Amino acid sequence: MRTGKHGLMTAAVTVVCAVTVLAAPGTAFADPGPAPSPGASSASPTASAPAAAPGRDLEAVRKKLDELYRTAASATEEYNAAEEKAQKQSAEIVDLAKKIVKGQERLDGLKDRAGAAARSQYRTGGLPDEARLMLSDDPADFLDGTDRVIQGQRATKGLLGELTRAQEDLKAYTADASAQFRKLEANRKAKATAQKKIEKQIAAAEKLESELEQEEKERLARLEREAQAKAQTAWLGSGILEDLDAEATERGRKAVEYATAQVGKPYQWGAEGPKAYDCSGLTSQAWVSAGQAIPRTSQQQWQQLKRVDIKDMRPGDLIIYFDDASHVGMYIGDGSVVHAPRPGRSITIAGAGTMPILGVVRPDTGTAPAE
């Protein structure tokens, strides 16, 4: 069915509007805001969590909380990846919509030219060439005119070929836009699924913590500090930092300065500043401030950035944690890292070995200054 210029323009505008709706921060996959109070929470995936009772095993509670927040962190990176893909696809759809409009305008112009050429041929082509030669008052002028007609026919043939190519381009743009819409919808669903998982795990952790008495909360905080100190001591005791004397590059120093300046700001999943951050939001924005764009998520940072040995790391490098690369911090020297830990915590400086290290990646491949 032939679609007019007005119809294609309307379709393009619809494409842009739809993209705006899908990508808008106020849709179903936006940040949920403050967590619900324990009494109002309907999410209770804590059947396997330790129940509130005097003399409970707080070490088991600590491990359960770590598990819940780790699952939330993994889902946060899934959400961030889907968000990044959705933004890219939205931009591609808008670009395709513009191409569709321009393509339709070009096609309409070619059709007008082809119609004019056809009408011209009709007006001059009513008699056979032999008859027009016999009736002509000036045979030489007729033959010259015949040559122009042949040239016109060739031009018309070229015009029709261009018209066909324009139609094919328009068809391809439309197909590409449809494909991008399908991908955008898939990522919208992935974001919604990840958001539900995040909210479920955070609600479960908050419910578990809310059931603790004040004295138990204080003991739990001590257990967390002791576990971190034990892990850091073991890491340092391995001798991993004995030969670590590499200095940061200029960009590395700027990234460290940015990241450490955020200490005290709250963790918020999906956030990239300036008021709050999640773990990869902090590291990616720190490097953007230093003039180096890097991937948004910790998994992408692990997959796409240059990997370096721990003994060769320098300030500004990123330490990726856990087997699923679900957490990241920035090494700042002296065995320490700055990172955004988890919901309910603020950006802080901690021992680089307090969590299981998967590896180290380097955003800036420049040479560090000589000693």
CA distance 1 to 296: 44
Would you give the end-to-end CA distance of the chain in angstroms?
73
Does 339 participate in catalysis according to the annotation?
Answer: yes
Q: Does residue 315 contact residue 290 with C-beta atoms inside 8 Å? A: no
CA distance 35 to 202: 8
Q: Which residue has the tokens 């040559």?
A: 147
> 359 Cβ partners below 8 Å, 6+ apart?
302, 307, 310, 319, 320
Q: Which of 191, 339, 342, 362 is catalytic?
A: 339
Does 17 participate in catalysis according to the annotation?
Answer: no
Does 279 participate in catalysis according to the annotation?
Answer: yes
Biggest CA-to-CA distance, the chain: 120
Q: What are phi and psi of 350, to 5 degrees?
A: -140, 170
Q: Which residue has the tokens 């032999």?
A: 130
Q: Which of 327, 333, 355, 363 is catalytic?
A: 327
What CA–CA distances, in Å, run from 256 to 120, 183, 302, 365?
73, 36, 19, 16
CA distance 186 to 302: 24
Q: Which residues are catalytic?
A: 279, 327, 339
